[in-house]
């Protein structure tokens, strides 16, 4: 940084536009011949200003307070110059002015960070993800207003204590029915999004250190819900007179045999069904969540559902493959369907994807790497969540092991008999 730059601060006055008998006081910062001026929002009588000393004359209480204020401003401007120099930032008259007025990156606020993040991410993240960030933003605003009693806070004021207090606020937050709104994982998801925003501020050098550096997110692990082979068969063999239930049931089963998520099924078009040289039909699409290209062979039961609803798209000239209602209604109908089938599980559409991974694929010996590819995962570790060892699989493996033991035992007996026969002939 510059070591031979010129730097000066002077106070001067201009005639007040509203009162000719008064002067408005300004500070002028000069660095390498370039100036920047700051209005100090203070007035002095014309006769009380000394141009030579750039101070007020007299010994009245008002004059003493005003001169003390000018000394304070002078010291603060010197400190701003020193801070910029020590931070190895460009030292200019305008940079010193912005630092003094709290308008530079060193004085960014939490709300400014949130706005910056959400504005820049709106074209990067999916709409559903952005909705979650907006919810986290609302919780942060409420925390500032209700707990800290402030409208905003400087980023440099954020610390480990702030994060812990925000966590407790989320854990204790109650809805209009006086019920706790968030479980542990819900709290952690909000903190995870907040952490991503803070990481952005750190990378932008808006904060000198990351307050999340010692904070650990602790998610509770749950087994992902899925339908067993018996439950899936029960669902397939149940028929509903109500068209809405029958339709949702069929499309849920379609997802169980393709592994597609709700949004991927909803956006699936006729053009994405392709017939390959092997005379088999495949789904060629991109996962909405990860933008990963996936190619999925269509199993017979999934193909039967496409054929069943083919007439709808033909009659309405729709390009969408299957007639799926909103996610909220779909999950509501699924609850009715499961009760009617006698399946006592909290089933949402996402359970179909879990069922595809666990019951349809892994249980039937499909390698984890293949399942990962079909699910459109970018990391194999994501797929390993589904690689649970089922009781039925344990029984199969133990039976296989026992068969091997039995074969080994028979081979040993046969070999022993051969040796006995040889010994007998030799004798």
| Per-residue pLDDT tens digits for 32-62 | 888 999 999 898 988 899 988 899 998 899 8
Q: What is the spatial distance between Cα 417 and Cα 110, in angstroms, rounded to a whole number?
A: 84
pLDDT at residue 254 tops 70: yes
Q: For 232-241, what is the mean pLDDT? A: 94
Domain ranges of the chain: 7-106, 108-203, 229-386, 389-427
Q: For 139-163, what is the mean pLDDT? A: 93
Using a 10 angstrom Cβ sphere, with 0-12 exposed, 13-18 middle and 19 or more buried, the burial of residue 410 is exposed
Model pLDDT, residue 1: 43
Supply 198's token pair: 């803070």
How do residues 325-361 score in pLDDT, each as one tens digit?
999 999 999 999 999 999 999 999 999 999 999 899 9
pLDDT at residue 385 tops 70: yes
Model pLDDT, residue 292: 80
Determine the CATH number of domain 229-386: 1.10.443.10
> What is the residue-averaged pLDDT of the chain?
86
Q: What is the spatial distance between Cα 328 and Cα 43, in angstroms, rounded to a whole number?
A: 63
Name the band, by pLDDT with cuts 50, 70 and 90, for residue 136: very high
Q: What is the spatial distance between Cα 251 and Cα 189, in angstroms, rounded to a whole number?
A: 30
Q: What is the spatial distance between Cα 320 and Cα 299, in angstroms, rounded to a whole number?
A: 19
**Could you identify the residue written with the tokens 């990378």?**
203
3-state class of 276 per DSSP?
A: coil
Q: What is the spatial distance between Cα 416 and Cα 357, in angstroms, rounded to a whole number?
A: 47
Name the band, by pLDDT with cuts 50, 70 and 90, for residue 426: low
Q: How far is CA 206 from the centre of its chain?
A: 21
Name the band, by pLDDT with cuts 50, 70 and 90, for residue 2: very low
Taken in order 349, 351, 357, 360, is the CA torsion positive or negative?
A: negative
């Amino acid at each position: 940084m510059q070591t031979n730059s010129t730097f000066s601060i002077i106070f001067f006055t201009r005639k007040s536009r509203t009162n000719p008998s008064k002067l408005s006081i300004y500070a002028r910062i000069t660095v390498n011949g370039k100036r920047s001026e700051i209005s100090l929002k203070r007035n002095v009588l014309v006769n009380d200003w000394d141009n030579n000393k750039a101070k007020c004359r007299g010994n009245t209480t008002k004059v003493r307070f005003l001169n003390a204020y000018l000394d304070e401003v002078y010291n603060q401007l010197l400190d701003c110059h020193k801070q910029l120099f020590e931070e190895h930032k460009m030292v200019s008259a305008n940079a010193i002015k912005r630092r003094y007025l709290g308008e530079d990156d060193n004085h960014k606020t939490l709300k400014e960070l949130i706005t910056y993040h959400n504005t820049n991410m709106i074209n990067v993240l999916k709409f559903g993800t952005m909705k979650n960030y907006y919810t986290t933003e609302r919780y942060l605003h409420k925390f500032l207003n209700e707990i800290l009693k402030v409208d905003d806070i400087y980023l440099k004021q954020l610390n480990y204590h702030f994060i812990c207090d925000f966590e407790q606020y989320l854990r204790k937050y109650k809805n209009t029915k006086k019920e706790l709104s968030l479980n542990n994982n819900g709290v952690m998801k909000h903190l995870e999004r907040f952490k991503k925003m803070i990481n952005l501020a750190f990378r932008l050098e808006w904060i000198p250190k990351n307050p999340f550096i010692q904070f650990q997110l602790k998610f509770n692990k749950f087994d992902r819900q899925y339908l067993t082979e018996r439950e899936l068969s029960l669902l397939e063999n149940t028929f509903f007179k109500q068209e809405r239930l029958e339709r949702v049931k069929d499309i849920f089963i379609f997802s169980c045999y393709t592994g597609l998520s709700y949004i991927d099924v909803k956006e699936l078009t006729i053009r994405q069904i392709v017939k390959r040289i092997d005379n088999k039909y495949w789904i060629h699409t991109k996962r909405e969540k990860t933008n990963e290209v996936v190619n999925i062979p269509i199993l017979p039961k999934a193909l039967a559902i496409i054929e069943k609803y083919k007439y709808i798209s033909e009659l309405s000239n729709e390009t969408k493959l299957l007639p799926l209602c909103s996610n909220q209604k779909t999950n509501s109908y699924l609850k009715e369907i499961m009760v009617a089938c006698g399946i006592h599980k909290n089933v949402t559409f996402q359970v179909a994807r879990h069922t595809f991974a666990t019951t349809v694929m892994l249980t039937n010996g499909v390698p984890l790497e293949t399942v990962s590819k079909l699910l459109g995962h970018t990391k194999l570790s994501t797929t390993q969540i589904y690689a649970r060892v089922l009781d039925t699989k344990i029984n199969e493996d133990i039976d296989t092991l026992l068969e091997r033991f039995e074969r080994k035992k028979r081979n040993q007996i046969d070999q022993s008999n051969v040796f006995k026969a040889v010994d007998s002939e030799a004798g």
